[in-house]
Amino acid sequence: MQDDTIIVDVGSSLVSRSVPAPSGENQESAKKVVITSMDAVSDCLDRNSLVIGLSTGQGMVYHVVQFDGLLFHSIAFMHAVIVMAPPTGSAESLKACPYNSDRSLNSSRCVLVSWVPSSHGSEFISVHENGQILRHHRITGNSSDKELLSRTENQAPSSELAVLSHGRVTTASLSPDGAHLAVGTTDHGMLYIVDIGTGHVTGGFSSFFGNFCCCSWSPDGKYIAAGGEDDLIALYKLGSTHVFAHCQGHTSWPTCCTFEYCSDTRLRLLSVGQDCRLCIWEMVLEPEAESPSQKQIFVPTVKSAEMNRVTPVFSDKIHTDPLSFVQIVFDKYLTVCAYDGTFKSYVKQ
């Protein structure tokens, strides 16, 4: 992928555009391709390889898409298919490799697909709506017979990592080091933390009301932000016995939240929502006593009167349609995407 290109999934579309605009102003136009039944897309590995998670759609659709110098292939068929495209110029003759194509592993939609950072591009995980978490090993070879590749691999292409049996999965996020997975569910609004190494649930916390809609990890993997149907964003430190802050500023459901930075003393959080608002939160972190080591820590719902409510340092309605994505791109630009495919980028202050 070219250094100035970003790709975002919006509904059943992949949307691409260069960042920033030559003039430094907001960017409105973007290239778009519709992929049948797409529900999740991973980060771009080695600037070329994407994993795409699907939900429904009969038959097979094959796409070859050119996005600002990025050539990738995708296959979409049946339910909950996971598709991986090898790097452009690769010696592999497989233009795209389907996983779970017969739905034998799982028939519910993919909520998250993500590369495992420590695998160096050889593994990725998928989180499904019914609570099953699968680990997939990248299939390589020079044969176009995908079934043959599956049979001759020393390691099975896919295996079950864990199953969350309570409620439907609404959101999920893998920590930057690939050690933990945050999974929001409809089980009383619980967000569970799963140890990727063991597949065991190590703890979790619940929303004030309703379910969580989005979640993300801080760059150091110590903090989790989760936006919910209560219009709040809960902030939690891994291993803590309480949710230490609730960010209050949205008037509708948050759809995406991300940390700009986080240290032992300060953090900055960005969020967008159905209310078309971009909110920026900054806070000073108080030193926290180390909690006794426990196998599992489940934090109960915080009462309204006991919440540490934080107001945003910036909050503005920046578009006419609901917003779906916010990220700091190339460490320079704050980039937002709306459900209508519009991109807007601002130079980071």
In order, the DSSP letters of 308-327 are -EE--SEEEE--SS-EEEEE
Instruction: Provide the 3-class DSSP secondary structure of residue 213.
Output: strand
Residue 234 has what pLDDT?
97
132-137 and 123-128: which strand pairing? antiparallel
Average confidence score pLDDT of the chain: 74
| Nearest-angstrom CA–CA distance, 64 and 81 | 17
Tokens of 165: 């049996």
Q: How much is the average pLDDT of 244-261?
A: 95
Can you spell out the DSSP letters for 152-196? H-SS-SEEEEEE--SS-EEEEEE-TTSSEEEEEESSTTEEEEEET
Pick the most confident of 27-36, 308-317, 336-345.
Answer: 308-317
pTM (predicted TM-score): 0.80
Identify the CA nearest to 301 among candidates 224, 236, 214: 236
Q: Which residue has the higher pLDDT, 184 or 162?
A: 184
Q: How much is the average pLDDT of 70-89?
A: 37
| Nearest-angstrom CA–CA distance, 75 and 67 | 17
Burial class (CB in 10 A: 0-12, 13-18, 19+), 130: middle
Q: Which residue has the higher pLDDT, 307 or 6?
A: 307
Residue 147 confidence class, pLDDT cut points 50, 70, 90? very low
Residue 139 has what pLDDT?
59
Q: Which residues is 15 bridged to in the sheet?
A: 8, 32
pLDDT surpassing 60 at residue 349: yes
Find the helix or strand (DSSP H, E) in which 296 lies: none
Instruction: Tell me phi and psi for residue 263, to 5 degrees.
Output: -130, -170
Q: Which of 203-212, 250-259, 270-279, 292-301 has the lowest mean pLDDT?
A: 292-301
Q: How much is the average pLDDT of 218-241?
A: 95
Residue 204 has what pLDDT?
95
Matching residue, tokens 């605009």: 21
Pick the most confident of 5-9, 209-213, 324-328.
Answer: 209-213
Residue 152 confidence class, pLDDT cut points 50, 70, 90? very low
Q: Which residues is 171 bridged to in the sheet?
A: 184
pLDDT surpassing 50 at residue 2: no
What percentage of the chain reaches a pLDDT higher than 70?
A: 63
pLDDT surpassing 80 at residue 95: no
Q: Which residues is 232 bridged to in the sheet?
A: 248
Residue 312 has what pLDDT?
97
pLDDT surpassing 60 at residue 135: yes
Tokens of 85: 């495209």
Q: How much is the average pLDDT of 297-326?
A: 92
Burial class (CB in 10 A: 0-12, 13-18, 19+), 89: exposed
pLDDT surpassing 50 at residue 72: no
pLDDT surpassing 90 at residue 55: no
Residue 84 has what pLDDT?
45
Q: How much is the average pLDDT of 257-278?
A: 94
Residue 52 confidence class, pLDDT cut points 50, 70, 90? low
Q: Which of 72-76, 146-150, 175-179, 249-253 has the lowest mean pLDDT?
A: 72-76
Burial class (CB in 10 A: 0-12, 13-18, 19+), 168: middle
